[in-house]
Structure 1
Amino acid sequence: MKRSLSTLGTAALITTGLFLTSCGSDAGTGDGGGGEPVKIGISQLMDIQALDDTREGFIKGMSENGYAEGEGVEYDYQNAQGDQATATQIAAGFASSDLDLVFAIATPAAQSVAQAVGNIPVVFSAVTEPVEAGIVEAWDAPGANITGTSNLGPVEDQIALIKELAPEAKTIGVVYSSGEVNSRVQVDLAREAADELGMELKEAAISATSEVQQAAQSLDADALYVPTDSHVVAAIDSVVEAAETKQIPLVVGDSASVEAGGVATYGLDYEQLGYQTALMAIKILEGEDPANMPVEKQTESLLVLNKSAAARMGVTIPQEMLDAADTVID
């Protein structure tokens, strides 16, 4: 069942002047205007399904709207493999390049790009809270050369799923990265939602993916929750194992993590999020100023369930939840 999300971004403001970049290519012509292909640098934090889907959705959105790869656009794709120092190096390299635009995927990658790249327009995606992360000045008016899309999901609805799956649950264990502002924001929202439902949130913070297994096993709770935290999701198998060992439900922040073994989520379509970001990038390439383009987010979320994962965790998914689901994985 699709859930509506509050819209923090509105339609982008139309500017009359062209946004000037330091490069010399003929941006805005696409593959049909006879100019040189647009050059776009992509900085991705790491290889996890949600971020890969975001990148693929972006490329698809560009291709279906006049910027086919190898014709209307050329990509310089670089992956930090979860290392912040590498993300910083990638951003520095892009800053001294002749790119027309930079696309940053995930909060740490976007933070590095925002700090390093001031002379090239930037779009980001899979960033939960861009203001708290210091990437933009405000949701409705980013204020510099950068804008994009947020992956802030319906955390309150996700926590409510735990109560539906385990009505007697009193405690929720959450594993998250202490160094990622997006994760801290989601944990705060999860705590508020748990309080409203009369439940207690127990936290296990990590500083590296290698710590996820121990953190998940250390939590003495009636259910587990994983937000859209790249470092934790990269080791989601360890959290799944902990939930199966403890025989408690695991609710997650994105549908890819349900496919990987979580029981349920109200999650975003990350490919569509990337596609949405591509449409913003095209507006910038064709003249709009990112400083005046509000940060956008998806307005609907999808209920995704994994029956086999639930069975392995000793959880029975209520029939009414199954009937309402957008996707049920057997």
Structure 2
Amino acid sequence: MTQYQPRYHVKRSVFILLFLIVALSLLISGCSTSGASEKTYRVGVLAGLSFVADITDGFKEAMTELGYVEGENITYDVRLTEFDIPTYQSILQELIEDEVDLILVFPTEASIEAKNAAAGTDVPVIFNFAQTEGTGLIESIREPGGNITGVRYPGPDLALRRFEILRELVPDATRILVPYQKGYPIVQSQLDIIYPAAEAAGVTLIEMPAETPAELASLLQELGATGSVDIDAVLFIAEPLIIGPEASAAISSFSREYNIPMGGAYFSVDGYGSLFGVNVDPIASGKLAAPLADKIFQDIPAGSIPVISAEMFMQIDYGMAQKMGLEIPEELLILADEVIR
């Protein structure tokens, strides 16, 4: 004899089954992206230095991996320029007036301007390739404060490592020229960490601040005109002057003429360039900014998101060292992320 089942038991079972199906669907759809929604986010990008413009590409690539697909649920307004404060200020004002959902900005000086421009607005800022030490950019690494967070450029750490490697490659150097952009905010903190190391090694640092490439070329010409160029090596610290095409051409021409090795930031002009470069990989640094943006799009305040520090990236120009008759220690070649032959 078949036992009778009340109809409400059947309805309840169907209801539970439907509920489980809907819940599972929502769970799957919610896991398919990291915060991406039907909203189309608008990101303004101030790429304030073409030397590291690949930061933008790294950021976009990582955002796509997080589910933010350009042209579908996110758009980018990318403004590429060189080091120029009035231009930075003008671009930032336009982005804020356009009410973008986020500003990605680099390097340091542009980031400082972005913080100031966005103050008092609802536009969050993510900085990249920006030094935090001695710049007032953030309150702390764990709690950057305000409406800003980002990827820290480890300027002092890089400066010291650059000095150490230059000493390894040119151990007899006792007078090292240090050219840089006059008044740039992250210069002093780098010099502060290099000077004690130089003093301990018996090395004299000859600073050469310049406001423009033309001024740098003039200073180098004056140094050459003395008839006695008492310089054993050139050290590049992190700043925007030297990596520009005119300034790099001027310093390369000078160093070639007097057979002076260069190192710190990597570049080559007409076959004569740096022995090495220690820096941050722009693409990798850009990728680090994507999870920060994802958190902001999930309504987490930017100022509560801890700052991330980018890792160092070392390039060694083995061919350049051979041209100059310099030996590169095997351990340096092993440590290098890229060896140029």
TM-score, normalized by the shorter chain, greater than 0.5: yes
Sort the Cα spacing of 1:307 and 1:216 in 2 relative to 1 into closer, same or farther, 3 A: farther
Match in the other structure for 2:73: 72
Aligned counterparts of 1:302 and 1:32: Cα–Cα separation in 2: 31
Match in the other structure for 1:327: 338
Is the CA contact (8 Å cut-off) linking 1:161 and 1:265 kept in structure 2? no
Q: Does 1:121 align with 2:124?
A: yes
SS in 2 for 1:233: coil
- Superposed, 1:252-291 pairs within 5 Å as 252-253=264-265, 255=266, 261-291=273-303
Quick one: which amino acid aligns to residue 66 of structure 2? N
Match in the other structure for 2:59: 58
Aligned counterparts of 2:314 and 2:280: Cα–Cα separation in 1: 9
Match in the other structure for 1:306: 317
Match of 2:149 among 140, 147, 150: 147
The structural deviation recorded for 1:246 is 2.2
**What's the % identity of the aligned pairs?**
27
SS in 2 for 1:82: coil
Aligned counterparts of 1:89 and 1:62: Cα–Cα separation in 2: 27
Is the CA contact (8 Å cut-off) linking 1:149 and 1:295 kept in structure 2? yes
SS in 1 for 2:173: coil
Instruction: Please tell me whether Structure 1 or Structure 2 has the larger radius of gyration of its CA atoms.
Output: 2
Match in the other structure for 2:101: 100
SS in 1 for 2:78: strand
Per-residue CA deviation, residues 240-287 of structure 1 (Å, 9 max, x unaligned), is 33222222221114x567998211133322211111012211111112
Structure 2: which 5+ runs fail to align? Answer: 1-31, 224-228
Match of 1:213 among 194, 211, 217: 217
Normalized per residue, which structure has more helix? 2
Aligned counterparts of 2:230 and 2:207: Cα–Cα separation in 1: 10
The structural deviation recorded for 1:124 is 0.4
Quick one: which amino acid aligns to residue 179 of structure 1? G
Aligned counterparts of 1:83 and 1:266: Cα–Cα separation in 2: 25
Match in the other structure for 1:238: 250
Quick one: which amino acid aligns to residue 212 of structure 1? L
Quick one: which amino acid aligns to residue 239 of structure 2? D
TM-score by length of 2: 0.79
The structural deviation recorded for 1:131 is 4.9
The structural deviation recorded for 1:155 is 2.0
Quick one: which amino acid aligns to residue 59 of structure 1? K
Is the CA contact (8 Å cut-off) linking 1:237 and 1:260 kept in structure 2? no
Quick one: which amino acid aligns to residue 103 of structure 2? V
Match in the other structure for 1:46: 49
The structural deviation recorded for 1:328 is 0.9
Quick one: which amino acid aligns to residue 113 of structure 2? S
CA RMSD of aligned residues (A): 2.6
The structural deviation recorded for 1:55 is 1.7
Structure 1: which 5+ runs fail to align? Answer: 1-28
Sort the Cα spacing of 1:36 and 1:315 in 2 relative to 1 into closer, same or farther, 3 A: same
Sort the Cα spacing of 1:280 and 1:297 in 2 relative to 1 into closer, same or farther, 3 A: same
Is the CA contact (8 Å cut-off) linking 1:251 and 1:263 kept in structure 2? yes
SS in 1 for 2:316: strand
Quick one: which amino acid aligns to residue 308 of structure 1? G
Sort the Cα spacing of 1:225 and 1:214 in 2 relative to 1 into closer, same or farther, 3 A: farther
The structural deviation recorded for 1:30 is 7.0
Is the CA contact (8 Å cut-off) linking 1:32 and 1:72 kept in structure 2? no
Is the CA contact (8 Å cut-off) linking 2:133 and 2:186 kept in structure 1? no
Match of 1:196 among 197, 200, 206: 200
Aligned counterparts of 1:134 and 1:257: Cα–Cα separation in 2: 34
Quick one: which amino acid aligns to residue 223 of structure 1? A
Match in the other structure for 2:307: 295
Quick one: which amino acid aligns to residue 67 of structure 2? G
Is the CA contact (8 Å cut-off) linking 1:44 and 1:106 kept in structure 2? yes
SS in 1 for 2:273: coil
Aligned counterparts of 1:308 and 1:249: Cα–Cα separation in 2: 13
Is the CA contact (8 Å cut-off) linking 2:36 and 2:66 kept in structure 1? no
Where relative contact order (Cα < 8 A, 6+ residues apart) is larger, the structure is 1
The structural deviation recorded for 1:325 is 2.7
Is the CA contact (8 Å cut-off) linking 1:132 and 1:181 kept in structure 2? yes
Match in the other structure for 1:179: 183
Is the CA contact (8 Å cut-off) linking 2:35 and 2:298 kept in structure 1? no
Aligned counterparts of 1:190 and 1:35: Cα–Cα separation in 2: 50
